[in-house]
Amino acid sequence: MKISLSIFFAFFFSLSFWAQDQSYNQCKGAIFAPLDGAFEVNFLGKTKNNFIWVVFIAPNEGDVIINLRGNENFKGKLYSSIDNICDLIEIPEESARLNPEIIPTGNYQNIKKRVAKNEVLSLLIEAAPKALSTVNISSHFQIDDQIDLRHQLDLVYDRSLPIYTLVIRNDQDSSPVSSRIIFQGNTNLNGTYFASDLYMNLNQKVRKLNINIDAPGYFPLEFKEQSLPFKEAFNDTIYLHAFEKGELTKLEQVYFGAGVPEILEESYPQLNRLRDFLLLNPTVSIEIHGHVNIREEGEGEAKKLSKQRAMMVKKYLVENGISANRLFPIGFGDSKPVFANPQNEEQKEANRRVEILIRTN
């Protein structure tokens, strides 16, 4: 696969997963959190449904321990399910059978939950209307099997059919990385999965498949219009690279209207991945570099538009709980094109980009 740079049961999300409002006060915009880690998050001050949603996904059988501390009292619910609860809670009769564990009003230490392999914990925390209070969330996973750290998801239903294997690894030590894997654009293979090792059947050759892969603490990857051959066995290994200070990466799938700074709706999933990274890494700040294609209007207009686009990315992140003093938008105009003389729309699109430079506070 060619990289265009930039734990866990199978979910089959509909396109509604990418709804316009994906802030973490909604189930479908939940923070994708690691099972071992600590982070701080603020309520968004909503008048109604002033929630924080956090999702933990177990790669193996064990115990998840969650600690919650805040400067104000809060209450919540802890859902445990192998289904997509974001769909179920919208249907009253389905929501009733989920039977969440109730977290009474207060601050809580050591909420311990036994989980099976591939089980999903969805934590809903609620504050008073309009409250902007802070919650410190820490989690720890006590795994039963310390030997096999792979998160295997075997969806093979017929061993006589070709089997496609997708393996996600750390590029430094080749260790397994439990990741969110999103397949889009092909009617025979659409869906979202969570795994480090994914096995599935193919019943025909797959064409024009878009694959997005992300994991907490790593640069996301995007593969456009991939083909998977229809043969007995086909294996892919993809290596993810962890965020490090001083690194520059392009934000794939962040789009703007032609000649205007407004962010298009299809950009929200990628921006939410960046939001999650910043929430889970509170010592990190970023420069947001805006670039535009070669423009006839002159240097001044190009730089203005690129700065406006970088500012719109900052605005989105601030509205989703990221402190403004961690975000530094810069407009480079058309001074740093990928293609100095773009010959087609694809090259022009490559020049129109947003890049992120990792810094520390």
Look at residue 149 in the predicted model and tell me its pLDDT. 64
Q: How far apart are CA 349 and CA 343, in angstroms?
A: 11
Residue ranges of the domains in the chain?
Answer: 18-143, 152-240, 248-360
Residues 6+ apart with CB under 8 A from 51: 25, 26, 43, 124, 125, 126
| Cβ–Cβ under 8 Å, residues 50 and 44 | yes
Q: What is the tens place of the pLDDT at every residue in 149-158?
A: 678 888 898 9
Q: How far apart are CA 281 and CA 47, in angstroms?
A: 28
Q: What is the tens place of the pLDDT at every residue in 323-351?
A: 999 999 999 988 888 888 888 887 887 78
| Cβ–Cβ under 8 Å, residues 90 and 115 | no
What is the pLDDT confidence band of residue 18, given thresholds at 50, 70 and 90? very low
Q: Which residues pair with 358 in a beta bridge?
A: 286
Q: What is the tens place of the pLDDT at every residue in 171-187?
A: 989 988 888 888 887 77
Give the pairing type, strands 152-154 and 197-201: parallel
**What pTM did the predictor assign?**
0.70
What is the architecture of the domain spanning 18-143? Sandwich (2.60)
Q: How far apart are CA 194 and CA 174, in angstroms?
A: 18
CATH topology of domain 248-360: 60s Ribosomal Protein L30; Chain: A; (3.30.1330)
CA 276 from chain centre, in angstroms, equals 7
Q: What is the CATH number of domain 152-240?
A: 2.60.40.1120
Look at residue 243 in the predicted model and tell me its pLDDT. 74
